[in-house]
Structure formats: structure tokens, C-alpha cells
Homo-oligomer: A and B are copies of this chain.
Amino acid sequence: MDCPVHDDWLEAEFAVDTRLRLQVSRRLHCCRSAFQKIEVVDTPRFGRVLLLDDVINVTEQDEAVYHEMLCHVPMQAHADAQRMLVVGGGDGGIIREAVRYPGLRRAVLAEIDAEVIAASRSWLPGVSAGLDDPRVEICTTDASAYVHGHPDTFDIIVIDATDPIGAGQRLYTPEFYRDCRRCLRANGILTAQSESPFFDTELVTHIYTLARKWFPLVRMYTACMPSYVSGVWSFMWCAKSPAQSHLPCRTVPAGLHYYSHEIHRAAFALPPSIKRQFGF
């Protein structure tokens, strides 16, 4: 496998005209799965970094922000979430957060690429730790087919998908969002990573247009992700019932780094320019 070392710097693609150069202390893993190039490197700045097709996917330094905000925001707003589906998320970070809840009975990980799960188990044990919880079922499958085949099953769906290239494309269709709504139980909540609101605004608009077609209540919230393009990440919140509050109503698990009720509430505050741009 060809993994050039570039002087011990890594160049991650932020966008066609923007790149992040990061000093690398060690190249740990590199392979090409049936779906993508998978690489793990160690860096002085962000600790270990998982890259998929040269895009930074997970870093030890800030993964907690992403995983906590994508998981706890719906879990804290739902009064009694017992069943969760994670779409993508093969690194296991969302599952690690979900299994903090004693009331959770079942969490299904629908990740198409078994090599991502394997890389995370080998190189990011702190992220993948939750995958061995007995309540977790790992399905290395196309999540769009899984969702289609499981109506009325989950209280929470978390979409932790890569960008809409290759296999990921099926997760950016109207049919997929229609099926996700059907897959949710009454009062179900879906959250999805929805890209940087400051960079690929066309893609952000596309994601929200898909969701608004099928969900009566769609909101955006944001968090700080220093290793992702622009440093700010948006997350989409969709409720099956228009009466569902997005505000937290449960006790916060101990040991979190980024999430709190204060942060949860603040994350839904959007600047006027973002509201105008995305129709909020």
C-alpha cells in the first residue's frame, strides 16, 4: 500500500481550495477497504487521527465533542429512549456514549465497512470501547437497506455518515429519510452530522431539504470541532412528532467532556446569517 510520508506532515483535504497540514509523529495503519482508504496516524496536536479517503474522520483530541453532541442531544431530549440505531459510525464513538445510559436496551450499529470497525478496535481503543457492550449489535450492512427493512423499531437514529461520495451516497436520498422516519417509533428523534455551515453550504442545504420533506420538525445545532473544516460543525435534529421538545429532560451521565445541559441549550442558538441562509 502506498503511503507517502510527505516530510512527516499530513495534508488533509478540507475543501478543493483549503487544506490542513498537520505534523505527524508516526504512521500507524494504512489500508484500502472495498469502500475507501483507511489511515491512522499519530500527531502531536490531535493525538491519533483516523482518516477516510484523506479526510479527517476522528481525532483523539476532539472526538468527544462530536460523539457527545450527536448522541446526548437526542438521548437527553427523549424521555425514555430504549432502542438506538447508529448509521455509519464504525469507529464506535456514538455507541460508547449511548451505552452510558442504563435504560438503553439495544443499540444497532449499521456500518457498511468492517475495516473501519477493525481499524478503530486496533488503533482507537478509547473510541471503540463500547462496541463490546452486550446490548450492542453490529451489522456490517448497507444502512439504507437496514432502515428500509425495520419499520417502527427505534427511539433514536443517529446518522454518523461520511460525505456523499461512494457508498455514502445512498444516505443522502429522499427515500432514505422517508425510511428513517418509518423506522422511528412514535416520539422518535433523528440526529445527523450535517457538515460545516460555513463551508459546503450547498451540501448543508441539500441535507436539510431532504429531512424537511419527511419530518415535521427540523432544527440545526452546532459544536466546536477544531479538527474539522472551519472548526464548527452542524448537526441536524429531526423529530417524528411536532410536539417533541429539543430541550434536555434527563440526568446527564458522568464523565463527559463537552456536553452539558447548558451547552445543549446554547448549541441551538444560530447566528442571523446562518438562519437566513438555511431557512431557520
Chain A residues with a Cβ under 8 A of chain B: 11, 15-23, 43-45, 61-62, 64-65, 196, 198-199, 222, 224-226, 228, 230-232, 256-260, 262-263, 265-267, 269-273
Contacts and interface: CB of A to CB of B under 8 A. Distances in A.
B22 A17 contact: yes
Contacts of A198: 61-62, 224, 226
A257 B44 CA distance: 36
Nearest to A196: B226
Number of copies: 2
Contacts of A11: 21
Contacts of A19: 20-21
A224 B233 CA distance: 10
Contacts of A45: 15, 17-18
Contacts of A256: 272
A256 to B, nearest CB: 6
Contacts of A61: 198
Nearest to A61: B198
B271 A259 contact: yes
B273 A262 contact: no
A228 B17 CA distance: 16
Contacts of A23: 16-18
